[in-house]
């Protein structure tokens, strides 16, 4: 088992999720089987020896799920797509109008193909290390690794580790949510992951 596989597969007591019962567009939005906004806590990143307890220690994400009606013709029951979004853009479409455009695109695809579309924000998230003057989000991609290569932190300080775990925990949460609601009878086994900047969604 690689270090990355070990990190992802290790149970994290911080993992939990909350169903926000988000039906802002009404019950029949795009003819989807279901859509919702979930608040996900994916993990604890390192420890307070390295990371500020209030900013970056516990990773929380806004997750928007759009589940299309299964298409037997397209064999879509176990297919899902995760779109990675930046830090700090929540589901408030009035405060963040571009979020509505993003949601519409992801959910329309799910509705048309009978797949599951997911938007996961907080990749990268904002992290403040104890010896830093301020938190970083994009810069975290560089600074996080130095705490392993130049310091005493575990290899999971490298940002790709917690980011991969956040994606894996999102997949687990989506399965738990959809199967709990009866929208899917089995886990999603074919996932694609893509990164999207909101500018490209306009």
Residue 200 has pLDDT above 50, yes or no: no
Per-domain residue ranges of the chain:
3-196
Q: Who's near 161: CB < 8 A, 6+ residues apart?
A: 3, 4, 7, 8, 155
In the predicted model, what is the mean pLDDT of residues 197-202?
42
- The band of 126, judged by pLDDT with boundaries at 50, 70 and 90, is confident
Q: How many CA atoms lie within 13 A of 12 on its CB side?
A: 25
* pLDDT higher than threshold 50 for residue 55: yes
pLDDT tens, residue by residue, 12-44: 999 999 999 988 888 899 999 999 999 999 999
Beta carbons within 8 Å of 191's beta carbon, 6+ residues apart: 79, 80, 81, 82, 171
pLDDT at 140: 87
Residue 199 pLDDT grade (very low, low, confident, very high; cuts 50, 70, 90) = very low
- Residue 198: the pLDDT is 44
Give the pLDDT of residue 94.
59
Q: 59 phi and psi, to 5 degrees? A: -90, 115
Q: Tell the residue number behind the tokens 């970056």, with chain if given.
A: 56
Residue 201 has pLDDT above 60, yes or no: no
Could you tell me if 115 and 79 are in contact, meaning their C-beta atoms sit under 8 angstroms apart? Answer: yes
Output the pTM of the full model: 0.92
């Amino acid at each position: 088992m690689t270090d990355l596989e070990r990190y992802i597969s290790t149970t994290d007591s911080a993992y939990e999720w909350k169903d926000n019962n988000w039906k802002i567009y009404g019950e029949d939005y795009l003819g989807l089987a279901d859509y919702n906004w979930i608040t996900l806590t994916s993990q604890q990143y390192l420890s307070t020896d390295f990371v500020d307890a209030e900013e970056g220690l516990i990773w929380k994400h806004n997750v928007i799920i759009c589940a299309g009606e299964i298409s037997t013709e397209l064999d879509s029951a176990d297919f899902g797509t995760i779109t990675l979004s930046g830090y700090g853009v929540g589901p408030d479409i009035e405060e963040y109008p571009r979020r509505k455009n993003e949601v519409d695109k992801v959910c329309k695809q799910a509705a048309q193909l009978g797949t599951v579309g997911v938007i996961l924000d907080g990749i990268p998230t904002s992290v403040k290390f104890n010896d830093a003057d301020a938190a970083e989000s994009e810069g975290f991609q560089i600074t996080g690794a130095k705490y392993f290569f130049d310091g005493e932190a575990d290899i999971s300080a490298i940002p790709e580790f917690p980011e991969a775990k956040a994606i894996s925990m999102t997949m687990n949460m989506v399965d738990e949510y959809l199967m709990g609601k009866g929208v899917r009878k089995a886990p999603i086994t074919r996932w694609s992951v893509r990164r999207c900047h909101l500018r490209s969604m306009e």
